[in-house]
Amino acid sequence: MPKPIIGLTCQLFPEPLPRSSVNQQYVDAVVAAGGAPLLIPMGLDEESLDRIYRLIDGVLLPGGDDVSPKLYGEHPHPALGAVSAARDALELEIATRALAEGLPILGICRGVQLLAVAAGGTLWQDVPSQYESTLGHDVREHGRDHLCHEIEVVEGSRLQAAIGSTRATVNSFHHQAVRDLPKRFRVTARAGDGIIEAIETDDDRFVLGVQCHPEGMWRTTAPEFAGLFEAFVEAAQARSLSLQR
């Protein structure tokens, strides 16, 4: 049985030489789960992007810089970080099409935020200044496998089925988060302060986003998150097989 092809959108690094890339941890997680990663670079014309999109069986939207607030009708907050119009455009086009066509989606950190915006939601542009909390949500100085706070996972959700628990302790490297939930989505995990940690569609499609970085935990401190990548790849495989019948 051929491995399902998982599209991973890239980030553009302009210096010292422009390059499209994605962190190797995402690639490793997809490969370990049984998928075949296909990197989707920046700078594609419409025909090239369409050709690549038709090859993939699922979409992984990775972490990265902030999503532009212009996409959900807000002015930039003073604490807004770097944004990339080109990356926003690439991922919005892919996410919107995948949502419409039922392609499995896994969004991680920026990815869950982009997914929410693509579906009509909004974001906290800067959690520390806009949301009252005693939790630290950006503690990247301790490393990508450092577990810093717990999340409560909704029983019966796809996330709960994937990791096998209604509680988990996660890493955290974000200052933005989902604020207003899109229609036809539901919250399936929250941090102790109420910040949304996971969203899913309210139907039987595999469309799921998490605020943590499971690609940094599944091999070390939180092995249960290997199940999230496995469930995503299995959904992509199932969709691929259904289209071949």
Apex 53 CA angle, 47 and 54, nearest 5 = 95
| Catalytic hit among 91, 197, 200, 215 | 215
Catalytic residue check, 150 = no
Catalytic residue check, 146 = no
| Catalytic hit among 10, 109, 148, 212 | 109
Q: What is the pLDDT of residue 135?
A: 80
pTM of the model: 0.97
CB under 8 Å to 61, separation ≥6 — which residues? 9, 91, 94, 95, 105, 106, 107, 108, 110, 111, 112, 114, 115, 209
Q: Could you tell me how far CA 88 lies from the centroid of its own chain?
A: 13
Strands 185-191 and 149-153, sheet pairing: antiparallel
- Give the Cα separation of 167 and 83 in Å (integer): 32
Q: What is the pLDDT of residue 245?
A: 62
Tens of pLDDT along the chain (245 residues)? Answer: 899 999 999 998 888 888 999 999 999 999 999 999 999 999 999 999 999 999 999 999 999 999 999 999 999 999 999 999 999 999 999 999 999 999 999 999 999 999 999 999 999 999 999 998 878 787 777 788 999 999 999 999 999 999 999 999 999 999 999 999 999 999 999 999 999 999 999 999 999 999 999 999 999 999 999 999 999 999 999 999 888 76
Q: Residue 5 has which token pair? A: 């092809």
CB under 8 Å to 69, separation ≥6 — which residues? 75, 76, 77, 80, 123, 125
| Catalytic hit among 91, 174, 213, 234 | 213
- Give the Cα separation of 208 and 18 in Å (integer): 31
- Give the Cα separation of 50 and 101 in Å (integer): 13
Q: Does domain 5-244 have CATH number 3.30.530.20?
A: no
> Exposed, middle or buried: residue 33 (CB in 10 Å: 0-12, 13-18, 19+)?
buried
Q: Residues 146-179, buried b or exposed e (16+ Cβ, 10 A)?
A: bbbbebebbeebbbbebbeeeebebbbbbbbbbb
Read off φ and ψ for residue 156, nearest 5 degrees.
Answer: 90, 0
Q: Where are the domains of the chain?
A: 5-244
Is residue 210 within 8 A of residue 151, CB to CB? The reply is no
Name the one residue in this structure whose structure tokens are 């935990």.
217
Q: What is the pLDDT of residue 15?
A: 82
Catalytic residue check, 213 = yes
Cis link prior to 76 (omega < 30° from 0)? Answer: no
Strands 207-210 and 105-108, sheet pairing: parallel
